[in-house]
Structure 1
Amino acid sequence: MQLPGTPSDEIDDVLATGRGDITTLFVSMATRHPEGKDAEYLQWHTLDHRPEQHRLSAVRASMRLVSTPACRAARAAETKPYDAIDHVMTYFFRDPSGMDGFLELARALIGGKRKLPLLPPVERGVYDVRSKSAAPRVKVGADVLPWWPVKGVYLVLERGDAPADSLRTVDGVAGIWSAATLDVEARLASAPAGQTVTYCFLDDDPLATAERLTPALMARWEGSAVEPLLAAPFYPVVPHEWDRYVP
């Protein structure tokens, strides 16, 4: 479908009304459930835990992603320990200070016995948003991509930093956000300094887009100082179809 009109990022009057206030990402990466109860975990997290986070004014959006066996086979890069990642949960914060309320709410929910054991973690990181861009064909501006209905996300985790906007030209990539690790307390995150995460928001099937992205990623890594840690397609959780996309 060809949507009408001029892309938002090309309309000064639209941008003047607001650019969004997300500056910080909390990214939790985990392995599959040790007993194969991924669908049950996704049900609890999506119906109970994740909605509660939005009572915090600092939490502006959230996104849960899952890697299927086919997604794992389509990865362009994976290194240990990141090759074990099958679940990615992202909260989009107004600023890093929002993490204080985030931890307070977690303690309160635990006090109410509302917490399941977490999936085995691989890494948690707090990231500073550095760049955003949207493909003109989708019309919506880069600022609102976290609320845009994706078919999936291609996640690129790298050591080092280099512009990733060129990936936006690949068919199926509707837009890109990139962020770099912040120096925070160890109780909040374990991601090392100098690490970047890029979200390619997709409007085509993640597996089909992954095939098209692989040559572009290979060229990126050959022509820059960044080192790939994980480059992988993911599906979003489909509410009430908990076993549709599981590891």
Structure 2
Amino acid sequence: MIPSTPATATRAFFSFPKVTDPARHRDYNAWHQLDHRPENLALPGVVHGDRWVRTPACERLGSYPDTALAGSQYLAMYWFAEPTADSVPEWKDLGDRAIHQGRRPELAWTERPMTGMFRPVQGYVAPRALVTLAALPFRPHRGVHVEVSRVGTALHPEVADLSRFEHATRIPDLLARDGVAGVWTFRSAPSRSHPDGPVVRIRLVYLETDPVAFTRALAADPLPAPPAALASTATLLLTGPLATITPWEWDWFDEPDATVAGASA
């Protein structure tokens, strides 16, 4: 059997967690990075997993029309090996066992405004990255730029036209920009109860430059706008930068030291 890679995966999980207790960010990151994520990555059915943080600097540069997503400070994702009929239930079982083992302390002080399975649509690597598409998520990066949007049923011709514009115009523009290593696009997996319902789309841009600096440059020189006839096809839910998380460097949301603040006043 040929091993699965992100380039051959047909399922990816996305979650946008929110820590509801400002004093628990370090606890959340210690649990996730030192317990939860390693256990997930150890599963044979998980190809790769990563997570990023919307630091205060990142948050100031983002746009969050969806109020539910506006407060999420993190983004986590996992890629699943084939056959997903085996790998996804195994992953879900690990999460259930962790609860009964008392290893889910974060449930008391986190929310997940958006979470679910997505299907990878298409991936691209910038020529400067010099890696294969399968290797892109494993390549070190400094952060990502994310856009989350919602469209009506994918059977609408406008959705196909907008998708063509995205892949033919916007993504080549992104790949040509300084600091972009590659791009992956995703769509939400259809629900059994509403197979023709709205679709959530995610564009994930891997950055080898500072995500805050990249987003400022993007604001100064925006991506090409879609044709006027397609402008209302997608509803933007969230867009902005997130930084790669370095283990034990979890001080983004710490309260300023009162003594230092007083001395500098």
Q: Same fold (TM over 0.5)?
A: yes
How is 1:65-104 mapped onto 2 (pairs within 5 angstroms)? 65-95=52-82, 96-97=84-85, 98-104=87-93
Unaligned runs of 5+ in 2: 152-158, 255-265
Offset of residue 21 of structure 1: 3.0
* Cα shift readout 1:162-209 (whole Å, capped 9, x = no counterpart): 2252322222211000010002479xxxxx741101110000000010
What's the offset of the Cα at 1:39?
1.6
| 8 A contact 1:182–1:193 mirrored in 2 | no
- Paired residue for 2:222, among 186, 203, 216? 216
Calculate the TM-score normalised by the size of structure 1: 0.82
Partner of residue 48, structure 2: 61
Give me the identity figure in percent: 26
The question of 1:196 aligning with 2:221 is answered no
How far apart, CA to CA, are the structure 2 residues paired with 1:220 and 1:239? 39
For 1:116, give the aligned amino acid: P
Return the offset for 1:73: 0.9
TM-score under structure 2 normalisation? 0.76
Amino acid at match of 2:184: W
Counterpart in the other structure of 1:45:
32
**What is the RMSD of the two structures over their aligned residues, measured on CA atoms?**
2.4
> 1:67 touches 1:246 (CA, 8 Å); kept in 2?
no
Q: 1:176 to 1:54 in 2, by over 3 A?
A: same
The verdict on how the C-alpha distance between 1:168 and 1:246 changes in structure 2, with shifts beyond 3 A counting, is farther
Q: Secondary structure in 2 aligned to 1:44?
A: helix
Three-state SS of the structure 1 residue aligned to 2:247 is coil
- Count of aligned pairs between the two proteins: 224
- In structure 2, what is the equivalent of residue 141 of structure 1? 132
Identify unmatched segments of 5+ residues in structure 1. 1-17, 187-191
The answer to which structure has the higher helix fraction is 2
- Relative to structure 1, is the Cα distance of residues 220 and 170 closer, same or farther in structure 2, using a 3 angstrom cutoff? farther
Q: Which residue is equivalent to 2:258?
A: none
Displacement of 1:220 in angstroms is: 4.7
Matched, 1:21 2:45: no
CA 1:108–1:185 in 2, change beyond 3 Å: closer, same or farther?
A: farther
Aligned match of 2:104: 115
CA contact (8 A) 1:170 1:213 kept: no
Question: Counterpart in 2 of 1:150?
Answer: 141
User: Aligned to 1:178, which of 153, 175, 185?
Assistant: 185
